[in-house]
Structure 1
């Protein structure tokens, strides 16, 4: 019990914050700011810091608890495998319930960031397996021996797809509503993307069976692959736009919405990079070698510059890392291949040199480069809406 001489600050419980949020005394943003302030100064770093404020780990104790969480989960899984032999549905249900119950202590009460992320992934994985097995049992779906038999099961397959993917999204949203774990934003984005792919496949199937869409031949394979790239590109643009909106909503990167934006950028980057690379260069990695000519090389360079500029503008390294990794392994390979042939240096070594140099350059001088490029090319009215420059 605190006395009059006790100078320690009073701590507000999560129940009090939730009650204040429900009654309209504080907003959701204010609740997250209060939680960040209670977590420590590193969680409320303002524009004065040089690092991208991403709260993935809460310190040594968080890492310690994460190790315990992994060991406890693994032990519980092996116990379930021993006690519930041949009952995968019950094992998945027990793991999902276990992750939720442990999160009530680790996440809800103590706000352990890294261990909370691990528990959220355990819940998402076990929940997915549970939904698949449950839907399979309810609809009595037997896995076919061939693709054609699977396609012929249009009715049950469509119901199962909607139930599983929709269930994953609802479960992730419910878990996020309870525990506020940012990585679930990425889980929702992936499930929604798969749902869009699934709906597109059903649409094409119905078109072929009804005669409104001609069935593709083997020769149409490359064109079909290129056409299919529009779906991940559109989904990637939607996810990226959502992430940018969250970033602009939280310019100072103080709340959980900024962390959600990080995971959305991680999910959207591959969806944007791969389709744009093939569309811009005309290359096809599925049906042929990637050997950019002069025009493709120029388009490749423009793409790299464009992604770097956007990443600098929104102050997100998470968008740049998949870009450099992809272009480093595919695009830069052929850009430096001629040099490798003349010098005798292995192309893989040149790839490592180029990508490594870019990573170190942007890692060490990110804010200086950002201030120099973005600060001098965008008007003040736009800069005022972007994340502020850090010293």
Structure 2
């Protein structure tokens, strides 16, 4: 199996000409009767060896973290008497970086690279947070939620710097999304610090902030997407992970602010959810990303279930909900390209020039 990224590297190495790679992609498009741009391809596994290495790597990182915690406890470098030690996440981050030098930089394995990136950024975040906590002492956090949020914001900033360093060295597509998540964490933590201890009273403010940050991540993802409208380079993979991050940041605050998380849904609220899901579907078709639909799926399932229950179909409400949503999504998937063309072709030309193409591939974009 050859991925889009493999073809890019073959062109860069001179093994294939750019014209030959473009012709090959066009041939695959014709075979599938669907343009590659609509397949939303990204590298997750290249073979079972990816799964094997990922399992082994996870076991090793777990062991390293456990040993680091034991060393921290024996040396007294813990928060509190038996609390966490910064040595544990630091060891995990160091080992993850070392493993990435082989499995990411040399072997270019997809799933292990994602695991090692998450372990590295998480390890850097944990090291920064626990080091600061060790320096200021456990008493600093007693009845001091604002202080906790400031520490988390600083740790998120260090994690963002670590993600930037990892991107410069390894160029793993999910790294940009990890950095964006860290930046969102910085801003959210600072807002919570400014709010003090009244988190519950200011819940709507926090949700609105997350929504705004989600829209920002979505626009950032569209910037990556617009630079590769045919989705034949690594930039498309970067945009995929950014969309995957932005979707729940947009969907969850919207539906929570509508009151869908209180365990009840009136007929009016259920209809609003369905209308919003249709709007999300149109947006997903226009930008050619399915993450928005998947993120909102749980809410629309709940809303439809409540509607069927209130209309008297108590025994079959779950089955009817699954039937309607499953059939709708399958039909949408089967006619995705046609639906996209019907929507995108009616948009202004300036906006169409920023969206993924609906008419096959454009000229090859340098990797």
Task: Give the TM-score of the pair, scaled to structure 1.
Answer: 0.74
Match of 1:198 among 183, 189, 197: 189
Match of 1:345 among 315, 318, 329: 315
Mapped to 2, the partners of 1:388 and 1:322 lie a distance apart of: 24
Relative to 1, partners in 2 of residues 1:91 and 1:202: Cα closer, same or farther, differing over 3 Å? closer
Partner of 2:265: 291
Counterpart check, 1:70 vs 2:46 = no
Match of 1:333 among 302, 305, 312: 305
Partner of 2:232: 254
Relative to 1, partners in 2 of residues 1:79 and 1:227: Cα closer, same or farther, differing over 3 Å? closer
User: Pairwise mapping of residues 175-190 of structure 1 onto structure 2 (< 5 A)?
Assistant: 175-190=166-181
Contact 2:281 2:293 in 1 (8 A): yes
Q: CA deviation at 1:54?
A: 1.3
Mapped to 2, the partners of 1:304 and 1:123 lie a distance apart of: 36
Stretches of structure 2 that go unaligned for 5 or more consecutive residues are 30-34, 78-84, 361-367
Counterpart check, 1:101 vs 2:76 = no
Match of 1:319 among 270, 284, 292: 292
Relative to 1, partners in 2 of residues 1:64 and 1:188: Cα closer, same or farther, differing over 3 Å? same
Relative to 1, partners in 2 of residues 1:277 and 1:157: Cα closer, same or farther, differing over 3 Å? closer
Contact 2:270 2:307 in 1 (8 A): yes
Contact 2:229 2:357 in 1 (8 A): yes
Q: Deviations over 1:163-216 (max 9, x none)?
A: 2111111111111211111222222222222222222223333xx9xxxxxx79
Contact 1:273 1:326 in 2 (8 A): no
Partner of 2:365: none
Q: Deviations over 1:49-80 (max 9, x none)?
A: 35212122233443343333334434544555
Stretches of structure 1 that go unaligned for 5 or more consecutive residues are 1-29, 209-214
**Quick one: higher RCO (CA 8 Å, sep 6+), 1 or 2?**
2
Aligned residues: 333
Mapped to 2, the partners of 1:197 and 1:289 lie a distance apart of: 26
User: Pairwise mapping of residues 157-306 of structure 1 onto structure 2 (< 5 A)?
Assistant: 157=148, 159-205=150-196, 221=201, 224-279=202-257, 282-283=258-259, 285=261, 288-294=262-268, 296-306=269-279
Partner of 1:127: 124
